[in-house]
Structure 1
Amino acid sequence: MEVNVLIKIRYGRKLILLTMISCILLLSAVGAKLKMFQTVITTFYGEKLLNTKQINKYTIIADFDPVERILTGDENVTYTNNSSITFNALYFHLYPNAFKSEETAPFEKGEMQLAYPNGFEPGYIRINSIQNNREALNYVIMGMGDNILKVYLNKPLEPGKKISLNIDFSVKIPPSCGRFGYGENTINIANWYPILAVFDHKGWNLEPYYAIGDPFYSDIANYRVEISMPKEYILAHSGNCIKKESIDGKIRWTLEANKVRDFAIVASDKFKVIDDEIDGIKIYSYYFEDKFGDIALDTAKDAIKIFNQLYGEYPYKQFSVAASDFFVGGMEYPNLVFIDQSLYREETKKILEYVIAHETAHQWWYGIVGNDQVDEAWLDEGLTEYSTLLYYEKKYGAKKRDEIYKDFILKYYHAYTNTQQNKNSATYRSINQFKDAQEYQVLVYYRGAMFIKDLREKLGDELFFKILKVYFDKYKYKNANTENFIEVCEQISNQKLRENFRKWIRYEKE
């Protein structure tokens, strides 16, 4: 009897032990499968949630002097070293310094009269001090036109570590009808503060403010901007207005924007504003002429809805279209686009719609899915220009899309290429390698869109739109490149497509 009890006890212990082992093995297997599944999801679709601890943060407190047109600012920036190397210095772009002289102003010679209708006057940014934990840091201003700020750190910044800097600065806004400057109606405050350069596989990206294209490349960051302006000014801006306060005879606007690449403002004492809502997103139209403010609002609403359906949801609460003293047509910034106010006329309303649809598409291609706009400008511009055609297709039908394609793309592409003796059809190249803005536009915008159109025809609608949705989802809030886009195209389609990229844009894997 004792033996039987002992056997039962031993058997019971073995059973418990075997059960425990089985549970452990089962949990391990489930865990391994879950891990493997998560690895597949991450590899194919990208990280679903951005680790907010790795996002840079800017807090800027600024005050505008309307007489001298000077912004004085204090910027606190928290930077995380997300690389695998240790930094002894950090680099910032000082874009306003491009406006210090006529030689470095980011306009082609033939544009200077349009950019400065009342004659050239300089604009610039001055750095007064830089501190870390109230300890002064050494720095040097360098690069073409003094457009790069190098800040020496008092101790090395190791991988995964953070640092917080305070930069005291002032900005002189020039009389320029471009991204940065003022005209008769608006003050365009864009690319105006010290912004961190991107560190990637190439190292620090320190390109100057070129006259051609949109020479910007930045990481996602969280912003809080408090800007004090005269009471009569209305602001169109990135992000959301958290509050407005009357302080010392001015209005202090507190603005917040999370997970955006930049922060811009258009200010005017003449703005009229209307708004509406689509898909839970507030759409604002800032304008001067009543009839065309409605056209701008309707175009933006329809574009947001169309691109939401085609690519993925616009993840912000508001989007603003602002008529501006801006002679270059349109320019995209997070949650905000500048539109040349001279397009708000009866004879140019067709162009107005096209430009607004194009700039709205940039909220997906550049804004949410970023890329190096200096070295690979075709990637966002080609997708955006073709997205403009999709706007017309989904809103008006294929016949209208084809008409727009013929009138706005093919006609100008062939008119240009047929007159060029020394033809260089390479779309994939840095913007400083294009001879002028016309060549850049023809090859980057038009040929880029022609390539995306050809890709759609080759793959068919089901695969094509699945590719764009997966590409958007995978690189949302990240910076992508041409190689990343090819990989998604080939994975989804299960086809070899590199030859198409080589043929159309002259892309060769580095």
Structure 2
Amino acid sequence: MIDYVRTCLTSAPRARTLWATGFALATLSALPVALAATLLAPSAAALLFTGDLALAFSLAPGGEGLPGGVWAPVLVGLVAGVLLWGRVYAVAVWASDEANDEGLRTSLQATRGVWKTVTALYFLYGLAMGGLFACAFAPTLVGDRQSASPTIGLILIALGLRTVIRIVLTLGIRAAVLEGLAGRAAWRKGWALLGARRGNVLAAWSTLVALGLTVWIGGRLLSPVLQDTALDYPGSSAYALAREAGQLLVAIPLETFLMVVALTGWSAVYLHKDVPETRPAPTPPRGLRQTDPWVRRGLLALLVLAIAGNGVPSAVDAAWARNRNLRLAQIARSEIAPEEALAPREARPTGAPEALTSYRVDARLQSDRLTWTTRLHYLNRTGETLDDIGLHLYPAAYAHQIEEIPLADTLSEGDLNGAFRAQARPGTFRVRDVEVGGGRGRWTREGTALTVSLPEPLRPGRSVGLVIRLEARLPQWPERYGVWDERTLLGNWIPTVAVRENGLWRLDRVSGIGDPFYSEVADYRVNLELDDALGAVGTGHLTGVAAGGARGRRVWTFRSRATRDAAFAVSASIQGLEQRVGDTLVRSWYRADERERGASNLEAAVGAVRDFGRRFGRLPHDEVEIVETGGFLGGMEYPGVIFTSDSSGALAGVPLLGDIFRHAGFDAAQERYVVGHEVAHQWWYATVGNDQIREPWLDEAFAEASTRLWLRRSDGDDRVFRMVNGTFDVRARPGVLFAGVEDFGSNSAYSEAVYLSGANVLLELRDRLGAAGYDRVMRSWYRREALKIGTVQEFIDTVSDVAGPQAARRLRLYR
């Protein structure tokens, strides 16, 4: 076989025809991969992650809105590619017969009719492959719960059968081209040859596989461009295009060589030229040994490939590193430390009541040990005479077994790299004592619910003082409350008075679904004693940083007026960027290794604050802090502060998936989407409050719709929404307006209904009212309920008042 291959590849004009067609076939093979890695990276990634062809096509450049929908262009491109492949392959097979020592034009004429049979054979092969792998994946697709090993076994069997069918196809094509057999007869000839000469076929297949491995492994050692891919850069960037071009410069020649060897090798098997002939040993020439010209050409080709393969990636990497370092240096010059965020004054937000319940929290953090005392001045604004006060102790929810802690199921489901399961552990929690009115109090605790008995009835408008002393060992936990990645998150940690409804305290259990928190506005003063090396950012104004009670300690003081909670993030080496948007100062906080993400967080937050402020009204509080936390679930909103994280962090360490996620731009899209959504919560939740347990539609759907409309205006389309949610849309459906967190068994089901379907209720309302009419409704709702707690029925009434009863009746369809 080797002698036959050598003869075919070195005798002109047949050799020129083989090399030309081999080059064309190699280019046809490589270009789709190159396009998938660059211009079509979002589409390829969407297809990989979701399997949704329609979604993948919509993410292609110009893919949305083309006539014929998604299937027509895909099918046209697929058919055109197969037709072109069949035409070129027929010419290559014709030229691989040593009896056809003709040029390219003659080969084209000789295969003018037979190439259609070749194309038909390829279509049949595609159908066979589709059916084969459908059978292999059928158990997974229909949802059978079988173990992984039978599924892997089926896939391995399918791959083996695929190799056999591919060999039969290869031999059948030669029967069609070289003997003029029709499609069915060509298939039969291929099967017959495989059965009659299986030993020779196996030897040829093994030789070609070994040669392919040798060439590609050698190529990777020779050229780094085949080792490192364009995944190191954003898919749409010039760097990725240059990297991919460099890879094609190396890959296409190597693939051309393998293609022409395979073409002539299989023709040798078909023509029985793979049996070595007995020849007399050649007499070595006298004098100086002559070098084979093909050896010289091969060495020259290797030299060119080595130069291209090393020069292109080196130049691209150098340019990328140079520009990235310039960006990072520019960011660093604008950075501030947390201490520089000191606010000289604090002002009561517009519209806030003069008299509110107030909290003073004195906390001491030592490693993962937290002790804190909350001095609560409670003002009875319930209209009832009270015998007790109900409070939430949310940190108690983190002192259970891992699987019982909020969000454990969601975190475990997305823990692809095992980091969460390896590091997470529960914390501890203890109520040390409670004082009421200056004396020891009587109290009971059930889970996260603390009920404090009052020494005497508390009439409306009167106040009472409570002191609650707590201690905890913080959990190793990446979301809301705990220590993770050398950062401490203090969310939902302050004992908070529950909302009083219908004569009862709303002491709902902490669900693992949604954000099950419900509170009224109050005034907060928080003193955090930390090690000198640590910085803190969070809700309200930083009004002081002073020496602590012990050496090497500092006390950070924050004050906020009329907020629903107060949350903080603590970390070493934290730094930030800030930008003013009207009356609001927006800051982004991060660590040194997160500079680029911190800068993009600020850019997204500034755009969202500007858009929402223009459409709904200014925020009552004048600072919004975005903090990078190192978690996994994207983001969590608190008054004046947002915890955000890289949602691709769960893919870290998973081969290729994390790189593909970033390269295709999914992480950047997710980042903007999450920041926009959490910033919107400063309007819908932090300012306009609601019952997040029983009526989460009022904040989650409102934040979701606000984010989608901002991105549409900013980008001109819904591309980011589709990338983040893996879908075109989720229809508005009845029941979402009053769906509570307890109505769902998982966060994915909750998100689909309340976030996506719920947002579409509002977007449908906007379609009916028009953009201006919709904005009037939202501005009116914002003004009416700022710093209060609104209900779904009150929003429907607002729609009726502003847009008319017909619009309100339409909303009631989704109750």
Q: What TM-score range do you get, normalising by the shorter chain?
A: 0.7 to 0.9
User: Does structure 1 residue 368 correspond to structure 2 residue 684?
Assistant: no
Match of 2:618 among 298, 313, 329: 313
CA distance in 2, matches of 1:287, 1:412: 33
**Does structure 1 retain, via aligned residues, the 8 Å contact 2:359–2:376?**
yes
Match of 1:394 among 713, 723, 730: 713
Change (3 A) 1:227 1:159: same
**Larger Cα-atom Rg:** 2
Q: Secondary structure at the match of 1:464?
A: helix
CA distance in 1, matches of 2:530, 2:503: 40
CA distance in 2, matches of 1:250, 1:97: 27
Change (3 A) 1:119 1:290: closer
1:146-192 Cα shifts (integer Å, max 9, x gaps): 11000000000111211111111113210011111111131111111
1:107 equivalent in structure 2: 407
Change (3 A) 1:73 1:406: closer
2:332 equivalent in structure 1: none
Change (3 A) 1:424 1:437: farther
In the TM superposition, residue 260 of structure 1 has moved relative to its aligned partner by 0.6
**Does structure 2 retain, via aligned residues, the 8 Å contact 1:93–1:148?**
yes
Change (3 A) 1:412 1:229: farther
1:351 equivalent in structure 2: 670
Number of residue pairs aligned between Structure 1 and Structure 2? 443
CA distance in 1, matches of 2:759, 2:587: 28
1:290 equivalent in structure 2: 595
Match of 1:491 among 764, 783, 801: 801
Match of 1:172 among 451, 455, 473: 473
**Does structure 1 retain, via aligned residues, the 8 Å contact 2:646–2:671?**
no
1:317-339 Cα shifts (integer Å, max 9, x gaps): 21111111321110000111011
Q: Secondary structure at the match of 1:468?
A: helix
2:776 equivalent in structure 1: 466
In the TM superposition, residue 479 of structure 1 has moved relative to its aligned partner by 0.5
In the TM superposition, residue 75 of structure 1 has moved relative to its aligned partner by 0.8
Match of 2:506 among 176, 190, 205: 205
Q: Which has the higher strand share?
A: 1
2:381 equivalent in structure 1: 82
Q: Output the amino acid matched with 1:105.
A: I
1:276 equivalent in structure 2: 579
2:440 equivalent in structure 1: 136
* 1:415-430 matched pairs, under 5 angstroms: 426=736, 428-430=738-740
1:49 equivalent in structure 2: 351
Q: Output the amino acid matched with 1:360.
A: V
CA distance in 1, matches of 2:606, 2:424: 38
CA distance in 2, matches of 1:327, 1:469: 34
1:263 equivalent in structure 2: 566
CA distance in 2, matches of 1:120, 1:301: 34
CA distance in 2, matches of 1:276, 1:322: 15
Change (3 A) 1:412 1:193: farther
**Does structure 2 retain, via aligned residues, the 8 Å contact 1:343–1:352?**
no
1:121 equivalent in structure 2: 425
Question: Which stretch shifts more, 78-87 or 110-119?
Answer: 110-119
Change (3 A) 1:465 1:246: same
**Does structure 1 retain, via aligned residues, the 8 Å contact 2:513–2:750?**
yes
**Does structure 1 retain, via aligned residues, the 8 Å contact 2:425–2:475?**
yes
2:394 equivalent in structure 1: 95
2:520 equivalent in structure 1: 219
CA distance in 1, matches of 2:574, 2:528: 18
TM-score by length of 2: 0.52
Q: Secondary structure at the match of 1:371?
A: coil
User: Does structure 1 residue 303 correspond to structure 2 residue 605?
Assistant: no
Q: Could you tell me the percent identity over the aligned residues?
A: 26
CA distance in 1, matches of 2:735, 2:462: 44
CA distance in 1, matches of 2:410, 2:722: 28
In the TM superposition, residue 343 of structure 1 has moved relative to its aligned partner by 5.2
Match of 1:453 among 728, 739, 763: 763
CA distance in 2, matches of 1:280, 1:155: 45
**Does structure 2 retain, via aligned residues, the 8 Å contact 1:185–1:325?**
no
Q: Output the amino acid matched with 2:713.
A: K
1:65-97 Cα shifts (integer Å, max 9, x gaps): 11xx12111111111111222110000111111
Change (3 A) 1:291 1:262: same
CA distance in 2, matches of 1:446, 1:342: 19
1:442 equivalent in structure 2: 752
In the TM superposition, residue 104 of structure 1 has moved relative to its aligned partner by 2.8
**Does structure 2 retain, via aligned residues, the 8 Å contact 1:175–1:182?**
yes
1:303-356 Cα shifts (integer Å, max 9, x gaps): 111111110101222111111132111000011101114559664112101110
Q: Secondary structure at the match of 1:460?
A: helix
Match of 1:161 among 454, 457, 462: 462
In the TM superposition, residue 216 of structure 1 has moved relative to its aligned partner by 0.3
2:372 equivalent in structure 1: 73
TM-score by length of 1: 0.82
**Does structure 1 retain, via aligned residues, the 8 Å contact 2:517–2:693?**
yes
CA distance in 1, matches of 2:685, 2:496: 17
Q: Which runs of 5+ in 2 are unaligned?
A: 1-349, 650-661
In the TM superposition, residue 424 of structure 1 has moved relative to its aligned partner by 8.6
1:419-476 Cα shifts (integer Å, max 9, x gaps): xxxx996452220111211110000000111110000111122221111111101100
Q: Output the amino acid matched with 2:510.
A: Y
Question: Which stretch shifts more, 287-296 or 323-332?
Answer: 287-296
**Does structure 1 retain, via aligned residues, the 8 Å contact 2:633–2:647?**
no
CA distance in 1, matches of 2:668, 2:424: 31
Match of 1:251 among 554, 558, 570: 554
Q: Output the amino acid matched with 1:133.
A: G
Q: Which runs of 5+ in 1 are unaligned?
A: 1-47, 418-422
1:29 equivalent in structure 2: none
Q: Secondary structure at the match of 1:450?
A: helix
CA distance in 1, matches of 2:501, 2:560: 24
Q: Secondary structure at the match of 1:174?
A: coil
CA distance in 2, matches of 1:350, 1:465: 25
**Alpha-carbon RMSD:** 2.2
Match of 1:242 among 543, 546, 571: 543
1:196-244 Cα shifts (integer Å, max 9, x gaps): 1111347311111100100000000110000101111121211110010
Question: Which stretch shifts more, 455-464 or 382-391?
Answer: 455-464
Change (3 A) 1:270 1:185: farther
**Does structure 2 retain, via aligned residues, the 8 Å contact 1:128–1:168?**
yes
1:41 equivalent in structure 2: none
CA distance in 2, matches of 1:380, 1:134: 39
* 1:330-341 matched pairs, under 5 angstroms: 330-341=635-646
CA distance in 1, matches of 2:386, 2:478: 38
CA distance in 2, matches of 1:201, 1:429: 20
